[in-house]
Amino acid sequence: MIKQLRLLAASAVVLGLAALPSGARAVDTGSADFTRYVAMGDSLTAGFCSGSLIQTCQKNSYPSEIFHQATGRPTTDFQQPLVSEPGIPGILRLVSLSPVSIVPSPGQGQPLNLNLPRPYDNMAVPGQTLHGLLNNTAAAGGLNALILRGNATQIQQALSLHPTFVTMWIGNNDALAAATSGIAIEGVTLTNPAQFDAEYKGAVAAILGTGAKLAVATIPDVTSIPFVNTLTRFVPNPQTGAPLLINGQPIPLIGVNAGDFVLLSAQGYMAQGFGIPAALGGNNQPLPDAAVLTAAEAGRIRDYVNAYNATIRTAANNANVALVDANAIFTQIAAGGFSVGGVNFTAAFLTGGIFSYDGVHPTAIGYALVANFFIDAINAKFGGHIPAVDMYSLLFGTAPKSLDKAANLGLVGPWYFSPMAMENLKMAFPAIPQPAHPRKPHRGKH
């Protein structure tokens, strides 16, 4: 197992009072029973942040927060595949303010509870698709080896724990790799909706068949994350990061049209001159396909996400399933932010407070918000009064390392998302194809 991990890094209740554990508090969970809570999903459930699976972020995963709020027990009682600093791969860090530069930390972390003699309570695997949740074992490699540790799949191991309550947030990787790669092709970065429908309904049936109750979540719109919506389609001013103005007019990047999205990964290419006219010091070549999400591609991905979400909503039309509409929530956050105690958090890259340095995964604050959305849905469905996560320590106390210092810097740019940072992101989205050739203007994909 350790050898596999080295190779990986090299390639990149209502409980009765008498039953309450010592120090736990009684919590009214309604008809939901958290005697044995298990979480399934992908990197968003695993607590992945800033391009890394790392203990400092995992301890703030939304399942860990739900466990503590629903049981009154310490989060250390909720077993996760913890990784020491600097994480696997090395967590992204801010190394320069002028210009803003984000690069991975050197080295790699080590698993801290690899020998747990049972499956983890949080079985989520970064990079996992719905099909992977049902079929991947440790032999699939990558972080499957660290988390699954055997011949059983994520869902098999989760259900072997005989859970009384399950959360499952899966399907993000069935669409998000298309957004983060700029390549929207069914069978490569997009899952066929009919396949998704059959497999999702099968997974829900298997969970409910054990007698467990369930909470699920929809998939956010692909354009709601900073990785997709931070950069404009115009040549940036190297001093300010704002669009460069010539005679008062911005200059479009070569091959990028109105309605297209320029991904954070484009910055490395722009530094090499791609997308920049020769008169402005560029190489007069268009940005590669993998650095631009065209309006047509974004629309195509959105159609797939809508189909997946229709499946999720249909499956959640069950007395024993609570639904979190993450699509609506993150669309709201992208449009205007989310207020907590008078503090407004937004989807702005680096400064918004919700998203981490990779522009895809949440900070500790973001994961606490997700936990509270799940808690709200669980309470509404099952008649409980599980308290919300207390945001005070995250907002005003000692900030967790996962937040670093960027959230309060008021950064305006320019910022630089290095190619190495993109490699970290691929750990969470392993289906991202390698760019082959620069983008040709007006070329569509199907």
238 pLDDT higher than 60 = yes
What is the pLDDT, as a whole number, of residue 208? 98
**CA 108 – CA 128 distance, rounded (Å):** 21
**CA 331 – CA 322 distance, rounded (Å):** 20
pLDDT digits (tens, 9 = 90+) for 16-62: 233 445 456 789 999 999 999 999 999 999 999 999 999 999 999 99
Instruction: State mean pLDDT over 362-372.
Output: 96
Nearest one of 158, 127, 159 to 144, comparing CA atoms: 127
Rounded to the nearest 10 degrees, how much is the dihedral formed by the CA atoms of 55, 57, 61, 65? 90
pTM: 0.85
What is the pLDDT, as a whole number, of residue 241? 79
What is the pLDDT, as a whole number, of residue 63? 98
Instruction: State mean pLDDT over 156-164.
Output: 98
366 pLDDT higher than 70 = yes
Give the C-alpha distances (Å, rounded to integers) separating 340 from 91, 209, 222, 294, 420.
27, 38, 24, 34, 34
What is the pLDDT, as a whole number, of residue 38? 98
What is the pLDDT, as a whole number, of residue 240? 77
Q: What percent of the chain is modeled with pLDDT above 70?
A: 83
pLDDT digits (tens, 9 = 90+) for 168-180: 999 999 999 999 9
What single-letter DSSP state applies at residue 208? H
pLDDT digits (tens, 9 = 90+) for 194-226: 999 999 999 999 999 999 999 999 999 999 999
Domain boundaries in the chain? 2-226+301-428
73 pLDDT higher than 60 = yes
What architecture is domain 2-226+301-428?
3-Layer(aba) Sandwich (3.40)
What single-letter DSSP state applies at residue 40? E
Q: How confident is the model at residue 425 (pLDDT cuts 50, 70, 90)?
A: low
In 3-state terms, what secondary structure has residue 93?
strand
